[in-house]
Amino acid sequence: MLNIEFLNEKATKVNNALKKVSKILDVGEDEFLKTPMYPDRVKYYLIILYDELEAIACHILSNIHNEKIKENCLEKLSQEGVFSEKLNRLFQDFVKFKVNLFESGFNYSEKELYHLSKEIVDTLSNLFLKELAEVVRQLKEKQPKLAVPVNLVKLNHHASVIKGEVKRLEPFKKISKEEFLNSNFAIDRSRYFLVVAIDSALWICRHLSRQIGLKPSKDCFKNLGENGVISQDVAQKLSLISSLRDVLADPTKEVDKELLYNLVKSEFEDVSNRFIVEVAKFIKYGKQE
């Protein structure tokens, strides 16, 4: 999903970098060429500018294709036809410039640098933010309508954290019960991974409770279960697991090793997966009769 806060932050940084390059270029070509400090600063700000554009491009591409895209995003975006031809050509020139800059060890003709930098600044200043706003508007219109208004960016983040911590438990699921119960390392690491996952599950629970106007409760998962947001079975299991959170987080406190082993072996993965699926279904469709 689109993270408007992220895009606004990156767009602001793009604008700031453009202003800094523009201010240097305003000294004129002759002054630029005879003052070594100016080309060096322009290179520095252009690299910052490129990195911010790359981050924006990765986010847009990830939303267009509904998958995480992390590399060569500006080049890929220029081939998508999302922006105008003029901007797409500039993106391609900017990619070539960065490649050449690194390959040449930052030795780049000052004259070439001046004119290319001027073209980059002029084109981006005139077109980029305006076109970006339109691209974002179109992408927002294509996003699925939700029955429950939630912060999807943060909710997806915490769901990913839960899945990530479950994955980190995998090595301990593969060892024998006896080996697990006698391994301080397995027990300590499992406790930590579970606490991180529980905290994210609690964040999702509390956020969702606030968004649908439920009264605050000491037992968030039980509250969701009683109000038909998640199944009673999932609510009861997560209620029990979350009640162990403080014990698991405190290394000075003894933990029931048998219970911990069962959580690691399968129980936590099963219930956390069901929790994420049920929450996603509720957010999309609302309470099912």
pTM over the 0.75 mark = no
Same domain, 10 and 135: yes
Same domain, 97 and 167: no
The angle subtended at Cα 35 by Cα 32 and Cα 40, nearest 5°, is 85
Domain that holds residue 15: 4-142
Same domain, 127 and 8: yes
d(CA 264, CA 258): 10
> 164: how many CB neighbours lie within 10 A of its CB?
13
Using the 3D structure, point to which of 142, 163, 188 is the last residue of a domain.
Answer: 142
Same domain, 198 and 237: yes
Number of compact structural domains in the chain: 2
Say what the pLDDT of residue 100 is: 87
Closest CA to 158 of 9, 286, 4, 283: 283
Closest CA to 156 of 117, 113, 200, 118: 200
Same domain, 109 and 173: no
Same domain, 128 and 8: yes
Same domain, 14 and 38: yes
Three-state SS string over the chain comes to: CCCHHHHHHHHHHHHHHHHHHHHHHCCCHHHHHHCCHHHHHHHHHHHHHHHHHHHHHHHHHHHHHCCCCCCCHHHHHHCCCCCCHHHHHHHHHHHHHHHHHHHCCCCCCHHHHHHHHHHHHHHHHHHHHHHHHHHHHHHHHHCCCCCCCCCHHHHHHHHHHHHHHHHHCHHHHCCCHHHHHCCHHHHHHHHHHHHHHHHHHHHHHHHHHHHCCCCCCCCHHHHHHHCCCCCHHHHHHHHHHHHCHHHHHCCCCCCCHHHHHHHHHHHHHHHHHHHHHHHHHHHHHCCCC
Sign of the four-CA dihedral 19, 22, 27, 32: positive
Say what the pLDDT of residue 247 is: 96
Say what the pLDDT of residue 288 is: 61
For residue 138, give every residue at least 6 positions away whose Cβ sits within 8 Å of its Cβ, in sequence order, or none. none
Same domain, 138 and 160: no
d(CA 147, CA 157): 20
How many Å from the N-terminal Cα to the C-terminal Cα in the chain? 28
Q: What is the CATH number of the domain that holds 256?
A: 1.20.120.580
Same domain, 39 and 137: yes
Considering the domain boundaries, does residue 147 fall inside one? Answer: no
Closest CA to 283 of 194, 137, 154: 154
Same domain, 164 and 240: yes
Same domain, 109 and 50: yes
pLDDT tens string, the chain, 289 residues long: the values are 778 889 999 999 999 999 999 999 999 999 999 999 999 999 999 999 999 999 999 999 998 887 889 899 999 999 988 999 999 999 999 999 998 888 777 677 899 999 999 999 999 999 999 999 999 988 888 776 778 888 877 888 899 999 999 999 999 999 999 999 999 999 999 999 999 999 999 999 999 999 999 998 899 999 999 999 999 999 999 999 999 999 999 999 999 999 999 999 999 999 999 999 999 999 988 876 5
Say what the pLDDT of residue 267 is: 92
Encoding tokens for residue 286? 């609302």
